[in-house]
Amino acid sequence: MKVYITADIEGITGTTHWDQTEADKSGYQEAREQMTAEVAAACQGLIQAGATEIWVKDAHGTGRNLIPARLPREIRLIRGWSGHPFFMVQELDETFAGLVMIGYHSRASSDTNPLAHTQSGLVDHIKVNGSFVSEFLLHGWIAALYQVPVAFVSGDEGLCDEVKAVNANIATCPVMRGIGDSTVSLQPGAAVERIHEGVRQAFNQDLAPCRLRLPQAFEVEIRFKSHAKAYRASFFPGVRLLDAQHVAFATRDYFEVLRMLLFTV
């Protein structure tokens, strides 16, 4: 069984401040080690469930956060950024039995994680077909292109609530809850144990119900924090400037949505 893991850091237990997410800031090393521990726990759960090949995308910041020597031999680690529109799930295709998301976080303009954002710090929000979207959904829809089930998601409580609202069959593991500019987090070892067992159980069940349904058409709206960024984005083919900070884009091809996001946000 071949499985894909994508890992971020803002939904790792204990991660509360931006200083913990940047390599040159205090607190980063601790967050990096916990990110590695939570990914390693997911890997071990997968191995116990029968996985023989695990691809891991280090999907935060520089793409060089995970400590490779602490991950099992069964992994293939994707570091850095290729520039492909699949972004946080680079190399995902139909050969994978399932997708696991570790350390994911709430969307921009939500109040359930102090570090909530979507794709970058440039946007106030991204909507598709009138609804706010998160990095979970944007990348879950990539899995849907290939009929790959989203089997397990860990991160903050707000994100896990969103996941269940999208598809109640997806296993989730909330490891923290955001309150204003603070978090209430599980003890690191407890988070590792819950992720390990949650992934193991998820992959011992039928994953077909965990597939996401891809919309037939996409009406995308992006509100930028800066009017200058919105103006610049409006020159991408098909993007329309709605007002000083809003742009819109419409297509029936999800890959074109991803291509537009790659060059605008």
Do residue 172 and residue 236 come from a single domain?
A: no
pLDDT for res 190? 98
What is the spatial distance between Cα 81 and Cα 60, in angstroms, rounded to a whole number? 10
- 91 touches 144 (CB < 8 A): no
DSSP at 148: -
H/E stretch holding 44: helix 28-48
The mean pLDDT of 87-94, rounded to a whole number, is: 98
Do residue 170 and residue 88 come from a single domain?
A: yes
Owning domain of residue 49: 2-117+134-210
Relative orientation angle of helices 135-145 and 157-166, to the nearest 10 degrees: 40
pLDDT for res 216? 96
What predicted TM-score, i.e. pTM, was given to this entire model?
0.97
pLDDT for res 62? 97
Do residue 75 and residue 173 come from a single domain?
A: yes
Do residue 167 and residue 238 come from a single domain?
A: no
Do residue 235 and residue 203 come from a single domain?
A: no
Q: Is residue 156 part of a domain?
A: yes
- Taking alpha carbons only, the member of 182, 179, 163 closest to residue 171 is 163
Q: Tell me the per-residue pLDDT of 44-84, one tens digit each, with 9 for 90 and over.
A: 999 999 999 999 999 999 999 999 999 999 999 999 999 99
pLDDT for res 145? 98
Q: Tell me the per-residue pLDDT of 142-180, one tens digit each, with 9 for 90 and over.
A: 999 999 999 999 999 999 999 999 999 999 999 999 999
Do residue 139 and residue 247 come from a single domain?
A: no
Q: Is residue 126 part of a domain?
A: no
**How many folded domains does the chain comprise?**
2
- The mean predicted confidence, pLDDT, of the chain is 98
